[in-house]
Amino acid sequence: MWAYTVRRLLYAVPILLGVSMLVFALIHLAPGDVVDLLVPPEVPREIADSLRHRFALDQPLHIQYLAWLGRLLVGDLGISFFTNRPVSDELFGALGNTLVLAVPAALLGFGLGTLLGALAAFNRGTGLDKLFSATAITGVSLPHYWVGIVLVAVFAVVLNALPAQGMGPAGIPTSWEQIQHLILPVVTLSLIPMGVVSRLVRANVLEILSQEFVGALDAKGLLRRRVLYHVMKNAAPSTLALMGLQLGYLLAGSILIETVFNWPGSGGLMNLAIFRRDIPVLSATILVLATIFVAINILVDVLQALIDPRMRR
Amino acid sequence: MRIGRALQICLSLAGLTAFASVAEAGGTLRVALTASDVPTTTGAPDNGGEGLRFLGFPVFESLVLWDLTRADKLADIRPGLAESWEQDESDKSKWIFHLRKGIKFHDGTGWNADAAIWNLDRFFKQDAPQFDPPNAAVTQARDPYVANYRKVDDYTIEIGNPRPISYFPNMITWMLNVSPAQFAKTGSWAEFAKAPAGTGPFKIVEFKPRVSATLVRNDVYWDKARVPKLDKIVVFPMPEATTRLAALRSGQVDWIEVPPPDAVPSLKAAGFEIVTNSYPHSWPWTFNLAKQDSPFRDIRVRKAINYCVNRDGLVTLLNGLAEPAYGLFKKADPFFGNPSEHYTYDAAKGKALLAEAGYGPNKPVKAKIMITSSGSGQMLPLPMNEYLQQNLKDCGFDISFEVVDWGAMLVALRNPPTAPQALGVDAMNISLHISMDISQFALFNLSANVPPKGRNWPNWKNAEFDSLIDRIEKSSDQQEMLGDIRKAHEIFVDDPAWLFIVHDRNARAMTKQVKGFVSAQSWFQDFTPVYME
Amino acid sequence: MTEVPALTITEPSQATRRAQQGKGYWQRVWERLQRDKVTLAMAAILALLLVMVVFPAWFTVHDPYQASVLHRLKPVGYPGHWLGTDEVGRDLWSRMVYGGRLSLVAGVLPVFLAFLIGGFLGILAGYAGGLINTVIMRLVDVLYAFPSILLAIAITGILGSGLKNTILALTIAFVPPLVRISEAVTAQARHLDFVEAARASGAGIFRILYYHILNNVLGPILVYATSLISVGIILAAGLSFLGLGVTPPNPEWGLMLNNLRQALWVDPVVAALPGVMIFITSMCFNLLSDGLRQAMDVRL
């Protein structure tokens, strides 16, 4: 078990190295130059060049890469070109804000999805199954940013019941003032995980139900509850894998919802960095999100191996 | 347990209502900006004009300020941290500024010549500890005429220009002053940003990146007539127009910048106020006159296209949030003058001019225009340009577009119009002009100011214009200068470097509770008389 | 977030079953499809959609680029424009039909390209094994470290907007999962008894690939690819929504959704229509994919 975990962790190192190279290459492939966005157009060449030098943009690429990598390894994510604040401050603050959205959305989506999927599977073929399956497929077919816009129009503007945008006071949401800002974006974000998890759980549960050992358990007269427990335990590994992926997507892919709701999370930060060509912020954000994704995948693999030793590769 | 919970709910509700309502006289004004981030709070705000408008002049001041108290005439300059100034009689290229006494920064330290020089060093002296390179670049570009400076005595400084520039006081308005003591205390600009100190009617007390900035009244502001009525202003960046709209309509903010034109009728119907004012904030097509095969090199084509635009139709499209433009200044401005060309919508005249130039029904004028999908001051570039395209077709213009993003357009602007970054376009639709006075007029259009040196992207070169500007710079007779500015404008209209389309009326939408606001004819606004009912 | 569906590969026993079905397998697939009314209906709708976007002139009267200031944001049912007009006065129905072209191209072409590229690489890796497999799969792992939307946004955000970059970004985002699935099923098929037998008897590589591997492998890959199409369409529209995809004034559903957001207060129905189109198309592809999965008896 430990050997497996260690192997997975070690394996992540070359992956992350590859990721960093990819991010760096991508960013330097971009047309245009950050200095052009940082200063007004009428700035004389010499000043623009001195700025370029100050941000070390005139060094050869591999030197820039190694310098950047070196700094990353000691935790220095650089300074934003635009705000002159350390990237780590901005990024981790923003990530925190995204987590405030992503975690409840994940819980809601996974919980509701598992419930709907299991219910659908256990009631296969009935109207209930069709209803839940339709809900699930709707969840994955809807452009959720559009749903967000519609929800804002209905609940914020027409009904004036919830805020139209923004995060409200920062920090872990405990007060109604904070929670009211959460409701619409979390519901919107949870649609896709709900749909995906629901479909997978239904498929998995159906498959397990169709296997012989369940019939055997039933025949033995085991309580429905115990059967359920066995079924869910067998469905768990692949469901967990999916949930891990979904959490990663929620963290990284919240950009669309954050745009609609003006939420100051990592998606919004990335959007801003792209528009302003703020290279340190952009590269650090992409890298950190990818690292988190890799970490989640490792965690999921280890959990899977724990539950079902057959899955170890 | 239940009582505790009920208490909790009550307290939250109370907190909510305190947030929403106002107990004191002046109140709290919550504003939604179009900026994508909170403008920097170091006294050199980014995010362009909007940054200066909200986190610039209300908090930090310059030697010379704008008079923003009148809605009926173009804003002019007035004394700020300097109570008077004059050119040195013996050497007109030197300006003497007499600093105002008795002003305190928000941290309690005093304003004097040392502080003034320290602030100049921030932008102009490379080895000063407070030198701020990115903002130095911006400030130097906005005001390229600070050649040297020195302290004369505790309340007098002297700033030297490279050559006599009569309108230099207009340009020093772009440089704001902060407290040197506060910088020394905080140690760096990044730290200063968290606890800034200026001299303005408001102080910044809180700053949450990407979320908001909070300003409160400066009770000891030096201009007793302009101590703010408001207790607090909170600004929120909301780059999406629909988000701003939703925030206003749901009561999250009281005031939004640039409402979407389509929403104007429903906003008015719902009881909100749309406040606009008319000043020369141009939204033009600037012609590429350097490109060899550009059809706009022929002055007849340039005049023709100005006659072929139905400006009123465009204003209808924008629900009145713009007004027609017939020149760089507005007809009502004292600088407009009396040009020979009056660019009304006269398709017949336009076609006649085109025929003279050799075009006709079988030979339309082909031109490619660079436009953006969005950007600061660009209004609604796509629908507006598509309208123009249709409109001009009737006259015999075959217009196509090169759609780029705002950043790419700024890059193109910095380079000569024949450089590859210009993508081979014949004109550029860009709204760069956020304040129209003689200093900007000259800066943009002098022959010498072509990129990469300056902002004259069209490469418009008119010797008569240049000599007029030269006279203006050397003059000190206000009447003579006014006459010359008018003549210069007439030249600019009759030999157009631009397609004059509309002036942006800088609309803002606010709730009926916002009172006292005077919409000055300027990009900048004065928030001191505002109060919440 | 819109994602790439997760992969859990079947047990070898089921792959064996499929493998032993040979040519008759596709016959059975076809029969099953014919009996599945829902999937047939979806296929019919999509076919209709395809005809509409390939021959838009047959279905529309107006030019989708023709603007008219006087006819802006007219509601559904307006004379001459049965679905109303958009924020510049263009006929919404025409924009939706022509927009379907760009939206479908942006959604389907990347999947198709990724199917070709990813399928090829995956089958190669799965069949060859050894060093080739390691190299290909490790490279794919690096790409896999990015959630697909992050990759798509990073590429379009950095390289610029436009249809070409959108297709490039989505193709790159879809190649890794397709490589993985192709590699997994190929590796399983390779170890089947009759394949080993064929190799032992000296059959040529292409013969083996064609007769034994492809038959068994194409099914799951195809099902997976079709499920990616709806993701592609939503992602492409999302990129345009952010300003990173198709550029104006081209009609494309995501872009239209963004432009019409402001119209939500003037005419909500008109503003919501492009979203409905995305939803319907996406839903059809998802149901089709499900139907194919049932018919091919693939457990994914």
Q: What is the mean pLDDT of residues C245-255?
A: 80
* CB within 8 Å: A41 and B240: no
- Cα-based distances in Å from B485 to B163, B289, B472: 19, 23, 8
| Minimal Cβ distance to C142: which of A22, A250, A259 | A22
Q: What residues make up the domain containing C187? A: 25-296
pLDDT of the residue at B23? 40
Q: Rounded distance, CA B98 to CA B113, Å?
A: 9
* Count of CB pairs separated by less than 8 Å, B with C: 54
Task: Give strand pairing partners of A67.
Answer: none
Q: Rounded distance, CA B375 to CA B398, Å?
A: 25
C chain contacts of residue A142, beta-carbon cutoff 8 Å: 275, 279, 282
Reported as a single tens digit per residue, the pLDDT across B424-465 is: 899 999 886 655 688 888 888 888 888 877 788 999 999 999
Cβ-count burial C150-175 (b if 16+ within 10 Å, e if not): bbbbbbbbbbbbbbebbbbbbbbbbb
Q: Rounded distance, CA B199 to CA B181, Å?
A: 13
- The number of folded domains in chain C is 1
Give the lowest-confidence range in B354-358, B449-453, B470-474.
B449-453
CB of B43 closer than 8 Å to CB of B203: no
Q: Does A159 touch chain B (CB under 8 A)?
A: no
pLDDT of the residue at B302? 94
Reply yes or no: is the peptide bond before residue A193 cis, omega within 30 of 0: no
* Count of CB pairs separated by less than 8 Å, A with C: 149
Give the percent of chain B with pLDDT over 70: 93
Q: What is the CATH number of the domain that holds C284?
A: 1.10.3720.10
| Minimal Cβ distance to A249: which of C149, C272, C282 | C149
* CB within 8 Å: A143 and C278: yes
| Minimal Cβ distance to C265: which of B263, B373, B405 | B263
Q: Which two tokens stand for residue C241?
A: 């929504």
pLDDT of the residue at A255? 87
Closest chain A residue to B15, measured at CA: A177
| Best residue of B382, B402, B421 to probe chain C, by most C CBs closer than 10 Å | B382
C chain contacts of residue A252, beta-carbon cutoff 8 Å: 1, 146-147, 149-150
How many other CB atoms sit within 10 Å of the CB of residue A247? 25
Within-domain flag for C250: yes
- Cα-based distances in Å from B488 to B45, B306, B471, B474, B528: 32, 19, 11, 15, 36
C chain contacts of residue A239, beta-carbon cutoff 8 Å: none
pLDDT of the residue at C299? 53
Q: Which two tokens stand for residue C283?
A: 């839903």
Q: Rounded distance, CA B361 to CA B60, Å?
A: 57
Reported as a single tens digit per residue, the pLDDT across A260-308 is: 888 888 888 888 887 777 777 888 888 888 888 888 888 888 887 777 6
Per mean pLDDT, which of A49-63, B144-158, C47-61, C249-263 is the most reliable?
Answer: B144-158
* C-alpha closest to that of A190 among A262, A270, A135: A135
C chain contacts of residue B317, beta-carbon cutoff 8 Å: 69, 72
Give the lowest-confidence range in A62-66, A149-153, A216-220.
A216-220
Q: Rounded distance, CA A278 to CA B447, Å?
A: 34
* CB within 8 Å: B242 and A149: yes
Neighbours of chain C (3+ CB pairs under 8 A): A, B
Give the percent of chain A with pLDDT over 70: 86
* CB within 8 Å: B141 and A39: yes
A chain contacts of residue C1, beta-carbon cutoff 8 Å: 189, 192, 246, 249-250, 252-254, 256
Q: Does A118 touch chain C (CB under 8 A)?
A: no
Reply yes or no: is the peptide bond before residue B45 cis, omega within 30 of 0: no
A chain contacts of residue C275, beta-carbon cutoff 8 Å: 142-143, 146-147, 150
Q: What is the mean pLDDT of residues B352-368?
A: 92
Within-domain flag for C95: yes
Which of 223-242 (A) contact B at CB < 8 A?
A: none
A chain contacts of residue C3, beta-carbon cutoff 8 Å: 192, 196, 245-246, 249, 253
Within-domain flag for C6: no
Within-domain flag for C191: yes
Which of 301-360 (B) contact C at CB < 8 A?
A: 313-314, 316-317
Phi, psi of B525 (to 5 degrees): -135, 155
C chain contacts of residue B405, beta-carbon cutoff 8 Å: 160-161, 243
CB of B257 closer than 8 Å to CB of B31: yes
A chain contacts of residue B144, beta-carbon cutoff 8 Å: 42
pLDDT of the residue at C145? 82
- Cα-based distances in Å from B174 to B62, B146, B189, B479: 7, 12, 19, 25
Q: Does A243 touch chain C (CB under 8 A)?
A: no
CB of B241 closer than 8 Å to CB of B262: no
- Cα-based distances in Å from A247 to A109, B188, B466, C213: 10, 39, 63, 35
> B6 or C186: which carries more pLDDT confidence?
C186
Q: Does B401 touch chain C (CB under 8 A)?
A: yes
Give the lowest-confidence range in A247-256, B3-12, C160-169.
B3-12
* C-alpha closest to that of B244 among B232, B253, B234, B233: B253
Q: Which two tokens stand for residue B376?
A: 């600061």
Sign of CA dihedral B1, B2, B3, B6: positive
pLDDT of the residue at B9? 47
Q: Where would I find the H helices in B21-62?
A: 48-55
| Minimal Cβ distance to C149: which of A242, A253, A271 | A253
CB of B121 closer than 8 Å to CB of B128: yes
Quick one: C61 exposed, middle or buried, by C-beta within 10 A (0-12, 13-18, 19+)? exposed
Name the pLDDT band for C10 (thresholds 50, 70, 90): low
Does residue C214 surpass a pLDDT of 50? yes
Closest chain A residue to B124, measured at CA: A47
Q: What is the mean pLDDT of residues B351-378?
A: 87
Within-domain flag for C56: yes
**H or E segment and range at residue B367:** strand B365-372
Does residue B348 surpass a pLDDT of 70? yes
Closest chain C residue to A19, measured at CA: C142
Please state the pTM of the whole predicted model.
Answer: 0.79
A chain contacts of residue C149, beta-carbon cutoff 8 Å: 249, 252-253, 255
> Reduced to 3 states, what is the DSSP secondary structure of residue B270?
coil
ipTM: 0.79
* C-alpha closest to that of B518 among B275, B310, B217: B275
| Minimal Cβ distance to B246: which of A40, A48, A157 | A157
Q: Rounded distance, CA C224 to CA A44, Å?
A: 55
pLDDT of the residue at B435? 58
User: Which CB contacts under 8 angstroms, 24+ apart, belong to B464-468?
Assistant: B464/B491, B465/B491, B465/B492
Report the mean per-residue pLDDT for chain C: 79
Q: Does A269 touch chain B (CB under 8 A)?
A: yes
Q: Which two tokens stand for residue C233?
A: 């369409």
> C109 or C62: which carries more pLDDT confidence?
C109
Name the pLDDT band for B199 (thresholds 50, 70, 90): very high
| Best residue of B140, B250, B405 to probe chain A, by most A CBs closer than 10 Å | B250
Show the CA angle centred on residue A307, arms to residues A301 and A313, nearest 5°: 45
pLDDT of the residue at B17? 45
* CB within 8 Å: B410 and A166: no
Q: Does A254 touch chain C (CB under 8 A)?
A: yes
* C-alpha closest to that of B191 among A87, A84, A82: A84
Phi, psi of B184 (to 5 degrees): -60, -40
pLDDT of the residue at A224? 66
* CB within 8 Å: A164 and B413: no
Taking chain A, what is the end-to-end CA distance rounded to the nearest angstrom?
11
Closest chain B residue to A180, measured at CA: B16
* CB within 8 Å: C3 and A146: no
| Minimal Cβ distance to A39: which of B134, B238, B405 | B134
Task: Give strand pairing partners of B150.
Answer: B158
pLDDT of the residue at A80? 79
CB of B476 closer than 8 Å to CB of B238: no
Name the pLDDT band for B114 (thresholds 50, 70, 90): very high
Does residue B6 surpass a pLDDT of 50? no
- For C20-50, give the secondary structure using H, E and C: CCHHHHHHHHHHHHHHCHHHHHHHHHHHHHH
Does residue A37 surpass a pLDDT of 60? no
Q: Rounded distance, CA B496 to CA B197, Å?
A: 45
Sheet containing B212-217: give its strands across.
B202-208, B212-217, B232-237, B28-33, B255-257, B508-510, B273-275
pLDDT of the residue at B86? 92
Nearest CA of chain B to the CA of A156: how many Å? 6
> B422 or A60: which carries more pLDDT confidence?
B422
Q: What is the dihedral of CA B244, B248, B254, B255, to 10 degrees?
A: 40
Within-domain flag for C11: no
